[in-house]
Amino acid sequence: MIRAGLFGGTFNPVHFGHLRTALEVMEGFGLDHIHLIPTANPPHKDKKALADDSDRFAMLSLAIDGAPGFSISDAELKRPGRSYTIDTVRQLTHSFPASTQCFLIMGLDAFMEIDTWKDYARLFEEISFIVMSRPEDRNTILNDGFTGIGEFLQKTVSSGYVYKKKENCFLHETLMPVNLFDVTALGISATAIRELIRKGRSIRYLTPEPVISYIYDKGLFA
């Protein structure tokens, strides 16, 4: 059985917050691979604010160069139209060997807005989730999971989800599991990195050096 994580985002630009949390999830869940998936045309973000697809792909390539288990999928970059997660999940899971167990990795903030996504309910029929949380998210996961994320799941997906404290996971008789996982809170954001660049300030130690060099060589985000 191969265990693979799907981790999507704009990566505009990729930074240590993305990379460190992905590594912690890989180790914590015993994943063999994590596929980073840069989105091409996200429905909830302004495409004009994104660096070119080729630049974001190149920065990801530089960031994970030589990192065991990490790869990049250009599935959304090659697919025309809006980038919908349900389409990507179906495309990738059908392209993997039948023995592959896939997990959709996302942050808690994104998960709590999943009911605004295209065919979101179908995702719970097709793929397991790993929802990353940070220490400051504790107020959203109180009372053995039934406050916040648990209440959200039961109202928007199915009342049949039950929290299992030992596994730190929501289980359902017919739908896919929703796993919770604590990650290190690094407090780095792509928005802050872009703002520093616009102000002419250093972004060292926020993203890998090859990515920094690429950004300045290409004049991105200035």
Exposed, middle or buried: residue 134 (CB in 10 Å: 0-12, 13-18, 19+)? Answer: middle
Residue boundaries of the structural domains of the chain:
2-188
Checking if the pLDDT of 153 tops 80, the result is yes
Please state the separation of Cα 159 from the chain's center in Å.
Answer: 25
pLDDT digit string, tens, across residues 60-107: 999 999 999 999 999 999 998 889 999 999 999 999 999 999 999 999
Question: pLDDT tens, 173-198?
Answer: 999 999 999 999 888 999 999 999 99
166: Cα within 13 Å, side-chain hemisphere = 0
Band of pLDDT at residue 7, cut at 50, 70 and 90: very high
Whether the upstream peptide bond of residue 13 has omega within 30° of 0, thus cis, is yes
Q: What is the pTM for the complete model shown?
A: 0.93
179 forms beta bridges with 130, 169
Helices (H), 73-140: 75-78, 85-95, 108-111, 120-126
Query: How many helices and strands, by DSSP H and E, does the chain display?
Result: 9, 8
Question: CATH code for 2-188?
Answer: 3.40.50.620
Between the CA of residue 201 and those of 20, 50, 56, 221, 222, what are the distances in Å?
Answer: 23, 20, 21, 12, 11
Chain segment 18-70, per-residue pLDDT in tens: 999 999 999 999 999 999 999 988 776 667 789 999 999 999 999 999 999 99
Cβ distance 42 to 93 under 8 Å? Answer: no
Mean pLDDT over each residue of the chain, to the nearest integer: 92
If one counts every other C-beta atom within 10 angstroms of the C-beta of residue 20, the result is 15
- The torsion angle over the Cα atoms of residues 72, 208, 2 and 95, rounded to 10 degrees, is 0
Q: What is the pLDDT of residues 113-147, one digit of tens each?
A: 999 999 999 999 999 999 998 755 555 554 444 45
Structure tokens at 177: 């599991």
Query: What pLDDT does 118 receive?
Result: 95
